[in-house]
Structure 1
Amino acid sequence: MSTPAEYYNSLPPVSKAYGVLCLMATAAQRLQLYDARNIALTYEDVFRRFQIWRLVNNFFFLGPFSFPFAIRLIIIAKYGVSLERGPFGKRTADFLWMLIFGAISLLVMAVVPFLWTPFMGPSLVFMIVYIWAREFPNARINIYGVVSLKVHWFYLPWVMLALDLIFGVPLLPNFLGMVAGHLYYFLTVLHPLASGKYIFKTPLWVYPFLGLFAFYFCS
């Protein structure tokens, strides 16, 4: 049985980096090192006060320490790692691009007032759930450590939405994550299968970020 340090070191770089940054963001907020309102996505502050960091930092705050926060962190550790090791194995840059594309898609959707949420991290995490369900359509899943079942990919996100409704978790962020996930899957899988052309390639500027992850989280 591996130790916590061995488990941490075995994690793939992108999922590890995102999970650690989300944990650090919530811990720092809990210690009152910053006010979460200062990183919330508010386009008025972005365009009028040039607070560009809000476009990025809002994705790392998954909420205060709570049951929903723990579930989101587990999703990164389980489904994110499973994707990065499985379908995206040896394609780490593609996995990072998936998250970046999802973040950009969510920022665009948030321009619409009734689709806006101050923190888009939960939506990005739910996008991971959607993509995982697509890539592992017949896998046996364990939901919240309580229910173990084998379901078709279509039902997993909806089962989790139903449970979030029971627990009183807002559903809009998860719906947005599903939309972003479907858009990515359409462009990378469904459209190439239908047209025979794959034009949605990972940009070259994504690759240098992998070196940063390797230096700060894998050294």
Structure 2
Amino acid sequence: MPVGVEAWLTQIPPITRGWLLLAVATSIGVQCQLVTPLQLYFSVQAAVQKAELWRGITTFLYFGPLGIDFVFHMFFFMRYSRMLEESSFANKKADYLWLLILSAIILLGLSPMFNLPFLSSPLAFVPIYFWSRRHPSTQISLFGLITITAPYLPIALVGFSWILNGSWRAAASDLVGCAVGHLWWFLWDVWGREMVGGPGFWSQAPEPLRRLVGEE
């Protein structure tokens, strides 16, 4: 791997970097026909009844075949996940991982309801939405075409995703991710502050997870 790419990767926070590398490797594996999407998607029947438990993980790693839509989702996921991990979760990688784990569990539960076999894009929209609500006054230029404030970013990206895919289903899956992101923003920043008066169990990683990532 070129030194420039290695240097760029080392600058990305660990949780975002790990997810990025696994997602890219998964799509390359599909492109090279080492695996097929049929081996990666999530369904209750396949994961539970057939004991194909890996599907509960691979569904969050496959962003689709290499192409414009793949680059679109990976770019915005990596950009805003990185920014969130470097700001709100600076030196709190266990808490950020805990946020993603809880979001993944909710999305697995919602998958049969919305017929979502792949949950990578919905999960990627969780940190995007979370970041946008924590930086409400930030101005963002999208592709040099329009300038919006951060809270409108997720909806704008959902619209671009709809245009790229030409199908409402892709937009619907991203909206599910926005809904989960809104839930956690409400619990962490609104409910936790106004009703609980401090962080709740959902905003603090359990001790085993902290030890796993080296935060004892």
Q: 1 CA distance for matches of 2:146 and 2:70? A: 21
Q: Which residue of 1 aligns with 2:120?
A: 121
Q: Which residue of 1 aligns with 2:61?
A: 60
2:97 corresponds to 1:96: yes
Give the deviation of 1:147 after TM superposition.
Answer: 2.8
Larger RCO (CA within 8 A; separation ≥ 6): 1
Give the deviation of 1:173 after TM superposition.
Answer: 1.1
TM-score, structure 2 as length reference: 0.89
Q: Which residue of 2 aligns with 1:146?
A: 144
1:111-155 Cα deviation digits (max 9, x unpaired): 32xx12111001011112111101211212232x333524151x2
2:27 corresponds to 1:26: yes
1:88-129 Cα deviation digits (max 9, x unpaired): 1111111111111111110111132xx121110010111121
SS at match of 1:59: coil
Structure 1 segment 1-219 matched on structure 2, within 5 A = 3-112=4-113, 115-143=114-142, 145-153=143-151, 155-167=152-164, 168=166, 170-195=170-195, 196-200=197-201, 201-210=204-213
Q: 2 CA distance for matches of 1:147 and 1:132? A: 21
Q: 1 CA distance for matches of 2:92 and 2:86? A: 9
For structure 1, list consecutive stretches of 5 or more residues without a partner in the other structure.
Answer: 212-219
Q: 1 CA distance for matches of 2:141 and 2:8? A: 20
Root-mean-square deviation (CA, aligned residues, Å) is: 1.7
Give the deviation of 1:198 after TM superposition.
Answer: 2.6
For structure 2, list consecutive stretches of 5 or more residues without a partner in the other structure.
Answer: none
| Aligned amino acid, residue 138 of structure 2 | A
Q: 1 CA distance for matches of 2:64 and 2:207? A: 32
1:154-176 Cα deviation digits (max 9, x unpaired): x2111122222222252111011
Give the deviation of 1:5 after TM superposition.
Answer: 2.2
